[in-house]
Structure 1
Amino acid sequence: MQVFKTMFKVMRSRLPSAMIYIIIFLAISAFVTSQSTKDNKFEMNRLKVCVFDEDDTPESRALTKFIGKHNDIVEIDNNRNTITDSLYYKTVNYALIINKGYAERLAAGETAELFGSYHMDESYSVVYMSKMLDEYTGSVKAYLAMGKSLEEAVSATEAAMSQETEVEMFRVDKGGDSHFSVDFAQYFQFMPYILVSVIISIVSLVLVTMNKKDIRYRTNCSCLKNSKYTFQLFFGSFLFVLFIWLIFMVAGTVFNKEMYTGRAWLAVLNSFIFSMVVAALAVFIASFEPKDNILNLITQVLGLGMSFLCGVFVPMEILSDGVLSAARFLPAYWYVRANRMISEEDAFSSEGVMKCMLIECLFIVVLVLMTILVRRLRYSSASIGSAVKKAAA
């Protein structure tokens, strides 16, 4: 097992860079878990609004007072440069101008050209203020149509829109007694990216080092068979991947105390199979002996590419049919499909989950066979060259 021992000596020197990925991922997972709660009180956001009342009537002042109940009124100079600077530096979210003639037009039932505004872009604050002003003026117009005076209509509108309802937000964890919560589903959802980034960047780099020409030619000249050499490389790679996977599983027990109960077992199994897929992919990539910068590029392309195309970072509901059709040829797609069924984002089906896992296993088989084929084609020339040199001697 000399090859196996040498491989792990090289891996030890590369392990610190892998731990950076792992620590960042676990830190983010811990933060997300700590921020989530089962019950959340709904609280309306308060915007920083400045109001320039050019009408200066009781009705316009009533509107300014109403806006101040739900937002923070900011006093700034009525100067275009001052306003734009305040918007740019976020000291003001929205600048409202109540146009002259506001009360007169409102009394006539007109709702056009009542306001002007300054804002940076079509953001949440713009939509929120526009909606509130539309509701306010629309309500006043409705009360006027009922025969109320303008003063009565403004008072009735303020009373109606000031009513508050206590809202409590509850998040329902699908899966019932599966012990596979929403938070834990997200923990497994983003795992493909970190597995690809860590495993390929470390395993492939180590294998490329082991496959350098001088080392490889020396191995071919030894009595070690090529099949045994390849087996030791596979075995060492899978042990390293198992170690990385176990780190995530142990950390998972911290985020979910009931990790090893119910349907969560399926998520654990699914992540293990995908880890083996990535290990086989790393060995396959290493067979081409890419340079360090090319290997880093391949790692990022595969990690980000599969994450965006297969539903890791972007929900599958948003992806087009064409993208999903292409993603079927990538192992991460089937991992995400299984994870979605386990968490019941899609309808749960034990047969469907097993089908996805079986397809992932087929990726492993295909990658292993392709690796063996590539290694025989690339390194057979080394054995032939060695034999010719011996014969010439």
Structure 2
Amino acid sequence: MQVYKVYFKAIYKNMTQIAIYFIVFLVLVVVLANTYTSPTDTNYTETKVNIVFINYDKDSKIVEGLKNYLSQKANIVNIEDNTQKLQDALFFREVEYIVKVPDGFTKGLLNGGSIRLDKTSLPSSTSSVYMDSIINKYLNTVKMYDSNIGNLPEEELIRSINKDLDQKTDVKLNSYANEASESEKCSYYFNYLAYSMLSILILGICAVMIVFNNTDLKKRNLCSPIKLRTMYFQLILGNLSFAIITWFLLIIASFIMYGSYMFTAKGMLFLLNSLIFTIAALSIAYLTGNVVKSKKVMSAVANVVVLGTCFISGVFVPQALLGKTVITIASFTPNYWYVKSNNTIASMVNVNMENLTPVFINMLIMIGFALAVLAITLLVIKQKRVSDS
């Protein structure tokens, strides 16, 4: 395994330049972890609205029952029936809803009359709709009892209504806020991983291929007892080993930062997606290594390829903020499909086949990129071999 050993000696000589990208990546993810703010919990909570209740239908137990029911759902503020004061209270948001019960309302309600409640509220406000629904719920219950059970005493009517309206159903809301926060942070982590992964592989493999593609060294290798097929096999094995080691080192921090989350289904999907991207990045690095001829050009090409593809594919700028033209161009790079998969994984609530299908399709596209670039690389190698002979 002489060639395999030489491969890693060449990597070791360029370790300083490669280590820079490890450090950049670690700084990025640590800063991200310290500056990320989790999304606020948007679960529903019942709030009490400030209302004014003015009653002119005296001695009505139904209206009194309505007032008691409203006091459980809202804060009743005592303001006299003065137009100026009521308008000021609405304007300064001291109250959001004013309801007046006219004289004879109960009699009209029970006899099918047309007497209505007089209400004033903030225009187009949710509190108005909320209070309307509460009042309608109470009055509809009154009418239902009156139409089905006639001549029922008001005390018994109010007792039955309160019993019905007191019925509650326990609702359990599952909050995914913490999981969503971890998923989003993890997606940023693995998105930035694309930058370091591609940079490290291009620099490392280019450095090795420049050495092995040196004309004098290549002629000496051809005279060596090692078969050409064996030599290429060891080079390929070296490339794969270097890529896997790089992937392993880059994901170690994720286990430290996110702990048990990385052992969940979504954490494993992030890891699988990054591993497949590593294969695609390896094919790009191998092609670049067979095209670049000097170390001076190597850094320039690495920066152009890596930064260019990362900026247009959503690694640094979210894909949602990129224009259609940029997205169309980015779709011809594996980075785009890698980031798209990360975003899809992060937004999943349930890990099922329906949600996983687009992720697996993106992974297959990345594998297709890897095979296509590898085919181009083999064509380039063959063309160079013919031109050198």
Alignment TM class, shorter chain as reference: 0.5 to 0.7
Cα deviation code 1:34-69 (max 9, x no counterpart): 34354889xxxxxxxxxxxxxxxxxxxxxxxxxxxx
The question of 1:2 aligning with 2:2 is answered: yes
Q: Partners of 2:214 and 2:349 in 1: how far apart?
A: 47
Give the Cα–Cα distance (whole angstroms) in 1 for the partners of residues 38 and 343 of structure 2.
21
Shift of 1:186: 0.7
Distance 1:306 1:330 in 2: 7
| Equivalent-residue separation in structure 1 for 2:40 and 2:23 (angstroms) | 29
Q: Equivalent residue for 1:79? A: none
Q: Distance in 2 between matches of 1:284 and 1:174?
A: 43
| 2:15 alignment partner, SS class | helix
The whole-number CA distance in structure 1 between the counterparts of 2:26 and 2:290 is 31
Separation (CA, whole Å) in 2 of partners of 1:362 and 1:175:
36
Aligned to 1:22: 22
Instruction: Give the 3-state SS of the residue equivalent to 2:23 in structure 1.
Output: helix
Matches within 5 A, 1:238-249: 238-249=240-251
Q: Is the 8 A contact 1:259 1:265 kept in 2?
A: yes
How far does the alpha carbon of each residue in 1:182-227 deviate from its partner, in whole angstroms, 9 at most, with x for none? Answer: 2111101111111111211122122111211111111223343433
Q: Which residue of 2 aligns with 1:351?
A: 357
Partner of 2:145 in structure 1?
none
Question: Which residue pairs with 2:376 in the alignment?
Answer: 370
Could you say which residue in structure 1 is the equivalent of 2:253?
251
- Assess if the C-alpha contact under 8 Å between 2:14 and 2:204 holds in 1: yes
Q: 1:279: how far off? A: 1.4
Offset of residue 302 of structure 1: 1.1
1:301 corresponds to which of 276, 300, 304: 304
Aligned residues: CA RMSD: 3.2
Q: Report the alpha carbon displacement of residue 343 of structure 1 after superposing the two structures with TM.
A: 0.7
In structure 2, which of residues 200, 203, 216 is the aligned counterpart of residue 201 of structure 1? 203
User: CA 1:355–1:173 in 2, change beyond 3 Å: closer, same or farther?
Assistant: farther
Structure richer in helix, relative to its length: 2
**Aligned pair 1:192/2:198, yes or no?**
no
Q: Distance in 1 between matches of 2:31 and 2:373?
A: 36
Preserved contact between residue 207 and residue 286 of structure 1 (Cα < 8 Å): yes
Of the three residues 282, 298, 320, the one matched with 1:279 is 282
Pick closer, same or farther for the CA change 1:230–1:263 going to 2, 3 Å.
same
The whole-number CA distance in structure 2 between the counterparts of 1:38 and 1:175 is 8
The alpha-carbon distance between structure 1 residues 181 and 329, as it changes in their structure 2 partners (threshold 3 A), is: same
Deviation at 1:266, TM superposition (A): 0.8
Offset of 1:332 from its aligned partner?
0.5
State the secondary structure of the residue aligned to 1:312: coil
Alignment partner for residue 230 of structure 1, among 229, 232, 241? 232
| 2:280/2:366 contact within 8 Å kept | yes
Where structure 2 has 5 or more consecutive residues not aligned to the other structure, the ranges are 42-82, 95-173
Match of 1:73 in 2: none
C-alpha spacing 1:288/1:314, structure 2 compared with 1 (3 Å): same
Superposed CA offset, 1:161-196 (max 9, x none) = xxxxxxxxxxx9979868952211110111111111
1:212 corresponds in structure 2 to 214
Looking at structure 2, the residues matched to 311 and 340 of structure 1 have their Cα atoms a distance apart, in angstroms, of 10
Measured in 2, the distance between the counterparts of 1:219 and 1:34 equals: 51
Task: Compute the TM-score of the two structures, normalised by the length of structure 1.
Answer: 0.60
Larger Rg: 2
Query: 1:174/1:300 Cα in 2 relative to 1: closer, same or farther (>3 Å)?
Result: farther
Q: CA deviation at 1:265?
A: 0.7
Counterpart residue identity of residue 364, structure 2? L
Q: Contact conserved, 1:245 with 1:272, CA < 8 A, in 2?
A: yes
Distance in 2, Cα, partners of 1:219 & 1:274: 33
How big is each residue's C-alpha offset from its partner over 1:239-281, in whole Å with a ceiling of 9 and x where there is no partner?
A: 1111111112111111101212121111101111111211121
* 2:319 aligned counterpart, secondary structure: coil
Distance in 2 of aligned mates of 1:345 and 1:26: 26
Task: State whether residues 237 and 279 of structure 1, in contact with CA within 8 Å, keep that contact through their aligned partners in structure 2.
Answer: yes
The residue identity in structure 1 corresponding to 2:30 is A
Aligned length: 261
Contact 2:10 2:207 in 1 (8 A): no
**Secondary structure of the equivalent of 1:313?**
coil
Contact 1:182–1:343 (CA under 8 A) maintained in structure 2: yes
Q: Percent identity over the alignment?
A: 27
CA distance in 1, matches of 2:3, 2:386: 19
The 5 Å alignment of 1:31-180 reads 31-36=31-36, 38=38, 180=182
Conservation of the 8 A alpha-carbon contact between 1:4 and 1:236? yes
Check conservation: 1:188, 1:339, Cα contact below 8 A.
yes
Matching residue of 2:273: 270
For residue 288 of structure 1, report the CA deviation from its aligned partner.
Answer: 1.9
Q: Distance in 2 between matches of 1:358 and 1:200?
A: 22
**Residue of structure 2 equivalent to 1:98:** none
